[in-house]
């Protein structure tokens, strides 16, 4: 294999894996999809999937055309002290989506989830498993589902209002103004006593 | 006109007015639509529109197939003391949508708004003008747009999570559990100092 030939072949293999991931995710949901299963569906060695993608979140992001690995972002969020997780989550959320490319992408994701039940189920499993569940779990184990769900209501609503509805007072706010307003709410939900 | 003939004729006229309202709302948005304009478009006397609909919110509700007049609901919300407006709003919101018919209707409304920019603009104008703007205005005039927008983020997110995504921990919660969790958030946004 010549050095000139390797890159296109590699990109083809990567594209093939991403396409297989889309099919697997649509058929089996987030929880039911594995890197091994995607490798099988793509007809490649599992090692090749691991070569291109750090893990399931990176593969999910590629399949959804999200321009970053959500796991890395949440790893960063979780480095905050437990009493500042709310602030950390809201700032990271606005940090990754408040770009011209990010705005277009999150609006498309939320619109798609709102209208296609399968896309909604997929996004929901992903958000619960990798994002809100992890953040709520960091704050403690009791009443995790309720606390993660409440965090999701506020974050999804913030995403819709800022990026889809472009609501006055929210779409035009500075990111740090929204951090100041919304972070205490997320922190409150994270700190709720379990029921 | 015989008594037997009146009712069908009346229902026809009402349906004609609702149809004209849909067309006017789609073309001119909520703020640009008037009862007089709808009467003109329907080819009926404005008094007939007033005969069937208590006001613009009632006509809007009929056009959107919402089974109650939002203005009456918000009038009730605003009767609460200013420091309990959050509780009053969340309880009323869940009260009107937590029915089998209500669930189907709000899910359809939110889905439609998420995918059709015109439907989103229409819903947004309505929500800002008649719902969140009025509630935030009752709490005070400063920073009204920002406070109303923040209230909208939480309420829209609650609606999506409970009725569209049916998120675990939120969809299955008792209404009063959600009132207890979310009302302080709404109250916090209403009470924010103006910027």
pLDDT of residue B142: 92
The answer to whether the Cβ–Cβ distance between A146 and B169 falls below 8 Å is: yes
Higher-confidence position of A10 and B111: B111
**Tens of pLDDT along B48-88?**
999 999 999 999 999 999 999 999 999 999 999 999 999 99
pLDDT of residue B3: 46
Can you tell me the distance from the alpha carbon of A17 to that of A24, in angstroms, rounded to the nearest whole number? Answer: 10
Cβ–Cβ under 8 Å, residues B163 and B110: yes
Q: Are residues B133 and B98 in the same domain?
A: yes
Å between A34 CA and nearest CA of chain B: 23
The last residue of one of the domains, among A22, A41, A63, is: A63
Whether A77 contacts chain B with CB within 8 A: no
Which residues of A are less than 8 Å from B168 in CB distance?
Answer: 128, 145, 149
Q: Are residues A146 and A183 in the same domain?
A: yes
- The two tokens of residue B10 are 């009346």
The last residue of one of the domains, among A63, A89, A106, is: A63
Which of A165, A170, A180, A195 to mutate: most B Cβ within 10 Å?
A: A165
Burial level of B32, CB count in 10 A (0-12/13-18/19+)? exposed
Radius of gyration of chain A, Cα coordinates, nearest whole angstrom: 18
Give the single-character DSSP code of B194.
P
The answer to whether the Cβ–Cβ distance between A169 and B148 falls below 8 Å is: yes
Give the single-character DSSP code of A84.
G
CATH number at A80 reads: 1.10.357.10
- What number is the average pLDDT over the span B7-30? 88
Å between A101 CA and nearest CA of chain B: 19
The answer to whether the Cβ–Cβ distance between B169 and A150 falls below 8 Å is: yes
Give the single-character DSSP code of A169.
T
Whether A37 contacts chain B with CB within 8 A: no
Can you tell me the distance from the alpha carbon of A61 to that of A66, in angstroms, rounded to the nearest whole number? Answer: 5
Range of the domain at A167: 70-191
Whether B26 contacts chain A with CB within 8 A: no
Whether B114 contacts chain A with CB within 8 A: yes
CATH number at B39 reads: 1.10.10.60
Q: Are residues A89 and A172 in the same domain?
A: yes
Can you tell me the distance from the alpha carbon of B88 to that of B170, in angstroms, rounded to the nearest whole number? Answer: 19
Can you tell me the distance from the alpha carbon of A45 to that of A70, in angstroms, rounded to the nearest whole number? Answer: 24
CA-nearest of B186, B188, B195, B189 to B90 is: B186
Can you tell me the distance from the alpha carbon of A184 to that of B187, in angstroms, rounded to the nearest whole number? Answer: 13
Q: Are residues B168 and B117 in the same domain?
A: yes
Residue with tokens 């209404």: B175
Q: Are residues B37 and B132 in the same domain?
A: no
CA-nearest of B109, B195, B108 to B150 is: B195
**Tens of pLDDT along B146-175?**
999 999 999 999 999 999 999 999 999 999
Q: Are residues A89 and A177 in the same domain?
A: yes
Which residues of B are less than 8 Å from A167 in CB distance?
Answer: 124, 128, 149, 152-153
Can you tell me the distance from the alpha carbon of A106 to that of A66, in angstroms, rounded to the nearest whole number? Answer: 8
Whether A194 contacts chain B with CB within 8 A: no
Give the pLDDT of chain A (195 residues) as one tens digit per residue.
444 444 456 778 999 999 999 999 999 999 999 999 999 999 999 999 999 999 999 999 999 999 999 999 999 999 999 999 999 999 999 999 999 999 999 999 999 998 888 898 999 899 988 999 999 999 999 999 999 999 999 999 999 999 999 999 999 999 999 999 999 999 999 999 865
> Number of folded domains in chain B?
2
Q: Are residues B91 and B176 in the same domain?
A: yes
ipTM confidence score: 0.89
- Closest residue of chain A to B122, computed from CA coordinates: A165
pLDDT of residue B40: 97
- Percent of all residues in chain B with a pLDDT value above 90, rounded to a whole number: 85
Can you tell me the distance from the alpha carbon of B54 to that of B70, in angstroms, rounded to the nearest whole number? Answer: 11
Non-local CB neighbours of A5 within 8 Å, separated by 6+ positions: none
Q: Are residues A51 and A81 in the same domain?
A: no
Q: Are residues B127 and B78 in the same domain?
A: yes
Whether A9 contacts chain B with CB within 8 A: no
The last residue of one of the domains, among B63, B96, B115, is: B63
The answer to whether the Cβ–Cβ distance between B188 and A189 falls below 8 Å is: no
């Amino acid at each position: 294999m010549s050095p000139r030939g390797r890159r296109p072949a590699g990109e083809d293999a990567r594209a093939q894996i991403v396409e297989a991931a889309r099919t697997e995710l649509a058929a089996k949901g987030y929880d039911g999809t594995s890197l091994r299963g995607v490798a099988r569906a793509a007809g490649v060695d599992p090692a090749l999937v691991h070569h291109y993608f750090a893990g399931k979140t990176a593969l999910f992001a590629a399949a959804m055309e999200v321009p970053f690995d959500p796991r890395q972002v949440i790893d960063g969020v979780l480095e905050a002290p437990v009493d500042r997780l709310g602030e950390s989550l809201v700032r990271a959320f606005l940090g990754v989506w408040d770009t011209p490319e990010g705005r277009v992408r999150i609006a498309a994701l939320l619109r798609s989830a709102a209208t296609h039940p399968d896309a909604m189920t997929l996004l929901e499993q992903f958000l619960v498993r990798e994002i809100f569940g992890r953040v709520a779990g960091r704050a403690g184990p009791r009443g995790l589902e309720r606390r993660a769900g409440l965090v999701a209501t506020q974050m999804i609503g913030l995403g819709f209002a800022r990026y889809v509805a472009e609501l006055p007072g929210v779409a035009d706010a500075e990111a740090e103004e929204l951090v100041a307003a919304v972070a205490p709410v997320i922190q409150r939900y994270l700190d709720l006593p379990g029921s």
